[in-house]
Structure 1
Amino acid sequence: MNKCEKYNNIENENDIEIYDSKHLPLVKEFADRIDLVETINNLVPSEMGIDPGTMILALILDTLSGRTPLYRLEEFFENQDTEVLLGKTVSNETFADHNVARVLDKVYEAGTMKIFSEISRNALEFFNIDSSHVSFDTTSVNVYGNYEHYSKDVEDASLKITNGYSKDHRPDLKQFLISMLCVDGNIPIFGKTEDGNASDKKVNNAVLSHISKHMSEHGLEKGAFIYIADSALVSEDNLKEIGEETKFITRLPATYKECERVISEAVSEKKWEDIGVLSITKATKNRPATSYKGYESEVELYGKKYRAVVIHSSAHDKRRQKKIERELKSNKELLESEKKKITKKEFFCKRDATEELKGV
C-alpha cells in the first residue's frame, strides 16, 4: 500500500504523521538529477545494510538543513520522512555514528577526488554548464587541537594539519588547505585537501600536471579551455608546465620588473582602449559603476614572451585621490604643529631661523 492509499484510509487524525522537511526535498530532487546516489554506489563497493550513496545523501541533507555537526545523524532523521528525502524508508538507527564512519572510510578508500569529479561531470552534462573557463584557487580551513597523527613531523600522514600562511589571518591556529577547480563562476569540478603549509605555487603546479587529462574527461582538449588563477601561477616551473597549448589568465606579481615596465609603458603611451562598465550590480548615486580601460602589450618571462594587458579602473583613481587627500591633510597637520613650536622660539639672527626651517 502506498502512502496516498494509507492516508486515504485514515480515520483518526492522531494517526497522521507530520514532518517539517523545509527545503530538503528540493535538495533531493537536484541529487536525483545528477545521479548522486547511483554514481557513488557504482564507485564505492560495500556490503553494508545501507548503501554508501544513500548515506552520503543523508550527510548532505543534514549539512544543508542548517545543522553544524556531521554526527548524531540518527537524531536528525528521527523526525524526518526518509521516504521523501532518501527515496525509501530507512530506520533512523541506521545512521548511527559507527555506520557513518564505516561509509566514509569506504568512500576514502575508493578515492574522494574520483567520486567528486564523476558527480561534477554529471552536473555539467545535465545542466549544460559552460566549462570553457576554469578557475583555480585555494582556501585555508582553521582547526583547533593538536592533531598529533597529522602533524608535519609524521612522514606517512595522509594530510599534514599544521601552521602555515593563514588567509583568515589566524596564524595562531593550525590549518589544512582546500584547492578547487571551478567553472562558470563558482561551480566546482575538482577538489582536493592539501597540507596546511603547502605553497600555492606548488599546488598550482600539481594541478597543472594533470589538468589536461581532467578536462579531457569533461570533453575539453588542450586549447579548448582557459585556465584562470591568481598570481601564484607565475613561476618558472608553472609556466613551463602550462606549455604552449593551454591558454591561461593570471595577474603578474609586482615583484617582477616587467610588471612595473609595462605599466609605465601604458601610462606614457596613452593608447588606452575603452572597455566600459563590467559590473553586474546596478549602480547607485552613492556607488557609481566603475569604468575600465585597457592597454595591450607583451612581457618577457624566463626567456619567453607573453601577451599582457594593463587594466585601469576609474575606482582606482578615486581611491588614489582619497589617499592623496589623506596624506595632504596629515602633512598639513604636522606642519601646523611644527609651525606652532617654531614660532614660540627666539632666534639670535635670521640665519639661525633659516637653519631651523631646513630641519622641518
Structure 2
Amino acid sequence: MGLPKLIDTLIIQDHQQRNVSVGQCVKAMILNGLGFVNRTLYLMPHFFKDKPIERLLGEGIEADHLNDDALGRALDAVYAYGPEELYGQLAAQAVKRLGLDCKIGHLDATSFHVDGVYNSHEETVPEGLIHITQGYSRDHRPDLNQVVLQLISEHQAGIPLLMEPLSGNSSDKASFRQTLNDHIEQLSTGVGLSLVVADSALYAAETLQDLGSFPWVTRVPATVGGIRELILAVSGEWMLDQPERAFTVLGSNYGGVNQRWLIVYSQAARERAEQTVNKQHLKQSQAEHNAFTALANQTFACVADAKAALAKLQKILKVVALHDPEIIEAASFTKKGRPRKGQLPDIIRYRIEAGVASVLETRCHKIQAKSCLLSPATNWMKRSSAMRKCWSSIHQANKKSNMVSVF
C-alpha cells in the first residue's frame, strides 16, 4: 500500500544521518507487532536476525540498524509531525488503493487499562499529552488507570479512517463532538465520507447542531425527555394486537435539528421484557411490602406522627399501592395480666392498617417500554433508491398494523 514511502514523503528527515528511514522503521515495528506486541524496542534486532530483512525493508539494511535509538528517533519524528494527522493520511491512501467505499463511517471509542503510575497522580498534564487516569472502563477494570482510543472506521473492511488517543477519563459525548468538529470536513473531502454512525453518545443537542446538515444515524438514549411517554403512546395497540413486528416513523426537532425517529416493536423483545420486568417487579414489590409490614408493626404517640410516617412511605412506593389506609387506636396497660372488665387503658397509641396490592399498570408500562426500541434516529432526509425501498417496507408494515407515519 506504499505506506513507508508516503511516511518518508511527509516527514522531513536527513537521510545522510540515517541507515534506516522513518518509514522503514515504522514498517519494521508493524512487522514486529504482528506477532510480538509485547516485545520492547531494544529486542527488535533479535527479531530480524533470522529474517530476510533486505527483502522486507530494503537493500543494505541490517538487523543491528534497527536498534532502540533509531526506532526512538523515528517515533519522535512521528510525534513531531502529529500522529493523528499522519495516520489520517496513511488511512486515506490505504482505502483508495484497496478500492474501499468510505461513504459510511462508524464512530466509537474503547479503553485500554495499563499498569504503572505514569502521570495519573497529576491533576493536569501539559498540552499535547494524554492523562493516564481512571475513568469509565470498557474492559471491566475500573481499579486501573487507562487510556481511551477513539476510532472512525469505514463500513466494509473495518479499517479505521481516524485514530485518536484520549485521556482515560474522557467523556464520549464531549470527545465525539470535538472529533467530528475537527475532522469531519477532512474526512469528507479526503475519503468521501458522507454519513457518520455512532451510539447514543452522539445524540446531544450541541453535537447535532454542530454537525448541521451532515448526515448522521444514531440511537436516541432513554434519558431524553418524553421518550417513555412517546413509546407508551404508539405501542399500546401493538401489544393488544400482538403482531410479530411493527414499526412507525415519527418526526422530531430535538435540539432544533429536523430528524426522523424509527420505533420498532417485536414479540421477541416483549417476551424478553416480560422476563426481566417480572423478576424486577417481584423483587421490588417484596421489598416495598416488607417496608409496609415494618411500619404496620410500629406504634405512634399521636395521629399526626402516624400520618406523617404513612405519607413518607407512600412517596417511595413504586410498584405496590396501599388501599383504604386507616389509623387505629392501640390500647396498652402498664400492669401485667388481663385487665379488669371496664378498665380504661393506661396508654393509647396509634397503628396503621391498610390493604397492600401490586400495581399492575406500572408493570405493564415497564414491559411496554422495554418491548420497543427507539432506533435509529437520523437527519438523513435524502431518498436514495435503497432508502426508498427501506422506508417503503416500513410503510407497508405500518399499514398492516394500522399505524400512521408522521414526517
TM-score of the alignment, normalized to the shorter chain, above 0.5: yes
Q: Deviations over 1:21-57 (max 9, x none)?
A: xxxxxxxxxxxxx211101111112222211111111
Counterpart-to-counterpart distance in 2, 1:293 and 1:139: 33
Change (3 A) 1:156 1:216: closer
Counterpart-to-counterpart distance in 2, 1:144 and 1:45: 35
After TM superposition, list the pairs within 5 Å mapping 1:252-271 onto structure 2: 252-268=220-236, 270=238
Counterpart-to-counterpart distance in 1, 2:45 and 2:106: 38
Please say if 1:39 is aligned against 2:6: yes
Counterpart-to-counterpart distance in 1, 2:250 and 2:210: 23
Q: Is the partner of 2:131 in helix, strand or coil?
A: coil
Measured after TM superposition, the shift of residue 298 of structure 1 is 2.1
Measured after TM superposition, the shift of residue 262 of structure 1 is 3.0
Measured after TM superposition, the shift of residue 269 of structure 1 is 5.3
**Aligned match for 2:138, one of 128, 145, 167:** 167
Task: Report the equivalent of 1:196.
Answer: 168
Contact persistence 1:149–1:157 (CA under 8 A): no
Change (3 A) 1:133 1:313: farther
Task: Report the equivalent of 1:16.
Answer: none
Please say if 1:213 is aligned against 2:180: no
Task: Report the equivalent of 1:136.
Answer: 107
Change (3 A) 1:75 1:226: same
Q: Is the partner of 1:75 in helix, strand or coil?
A: helix
Consecutive unaligned residues in structure 2, runs of 5 or more: 288-351, 358-407
Contact persistence 2:119–2:133 (CA under 8 A): no
Measured after TM superposition, the shift of residue 173 of structure 1 is 1.0
Change (3 A) 1:268 1:211: farther
Measured after TM superposition, the shift of residue 261 of structure 1 is 3.0
**Aligned match for 1:296, one of 249, 252, 275:** 249
Task: Report the equivalent of 1:235.
Answer: 204
Q: Is the partner of 1:176 in helix, strand or coil?
A: strand
**Aligned match for 2:269, one of 313, 316, 339:** 316
Between the aligned residues of both structures, percent identity stands at 25
After TM superposition, list the pairs within 5 Å mapping 1:70-89 onto structure 2: 70-71=40-41, 72-89=43-60
Consecutive unaligned residues in structure 1, runs of 5 or more: 1-33, 272-290, 335-354
Counterpart-to-counterpart distance in 2, 1:88 and 1:295: 64
Measured after TM superposition, the shift of residue 196 of structure 1 is 1.3
Measured after TM superposition, the shift of residue 102 of structure 1 is 0.7
Please say if 1:109 is aligned against 2:76: no
Is the deviation greater in 100-109 or in 185-194?
185-194
Contact persistence 1:292–1:314 (CA under 8 A): yes
Change (3 A) 1:149 1:261: closer
Measured after TM superposition, the shift of residue 81 of structure 1 is 1.2
Task: Report the equivalent of 1:247.
Answer: 215
Change (3 A) 1:128 1:314: farther
Change (3 A) 1:184 1:328: closer
Task: Report the equivalent of 2:329.
Answer: none
Q: Is the partner of 1:216 in helix, strand or coil?
A: helix
Is the deviation greater in 67-76 or in 316-325?
316-325
- Counterpart amino acid of residue 308 in structure 1: W
Is the deviation greater in 37-46 or in 209-218?
209-218
Counterpart-to-counterpart distance in 2, 1:292 and 1:133: 27
Counterpart-to-counterpart distance in 1, 2:217 and 2:36: 37
Counterpart-to-counterpart distance in 2, 1:150 and 1:187: 35
Q: Is the partner of 2:219 in helix, strand or coil?
A: coil
Q: Is the partner of 2:39 in helix, strand or coil?
A: coil
TM-score (norm 1): 0.70
Instruction: Compute the RMSD of aligned alpha carbons.
Output: 3.1
Q: Is the partner of 1:260 in helix, strand or coil?
A: helix
Please say if 1:53 is aligned against 2:23: yes
Counterpart-to-counterpart distance in 2, 1:359 and 1:250: 43
Change (3 A) 1:92 1:307: same
TM-score (norm 2): 0.63
Measured after TM superposition, the shift of residue 211 of structure 1 is 3.4
Counterpart-to-counterpart distance in 2, 1:357 and 1:103: 78
Task: Report the equivalent of 2:362.
Answer: none
Contact persistence 1:151–1:162 (CA under 8 A): no
Change (3 A) 1:236 1:87: same
Q: Deviations over 1:161-217 (max 9, x none)?
A: 111121222221111111111111522011111111111111111122133321233
Task: Report the equivalent of 1:225.
Answer: 194
Q: Is the partner of 1:217 in helix, strand or coil?
A: helix
Please say if 1:119 is aligned against 2:87: no
- Counterpart amino acid of residue 196 in structure 2: Y
Change (3 A) 1:88 1:292: farther
Counterpart-to-counterpart distance in 2, 1:265 and 1:308: 14
Counterpart-to-counterpart distance in 1, 2:183 and 2:257: 22
Change (3 A) 1:321 1:236: closer
- Counterpart amino acid of residue 233 in structure 1: L
Measured after TM superposition, the shift of residue 294 of structure 1 is 2.8
Counterpart-to-counterpart distance in 2, 1:63 and 1:133: 29
Q: Deviations over 1:258-292 (max 9, x none)?
A: 32233223303549xxxxxxxxxxxxxxxxxxx86
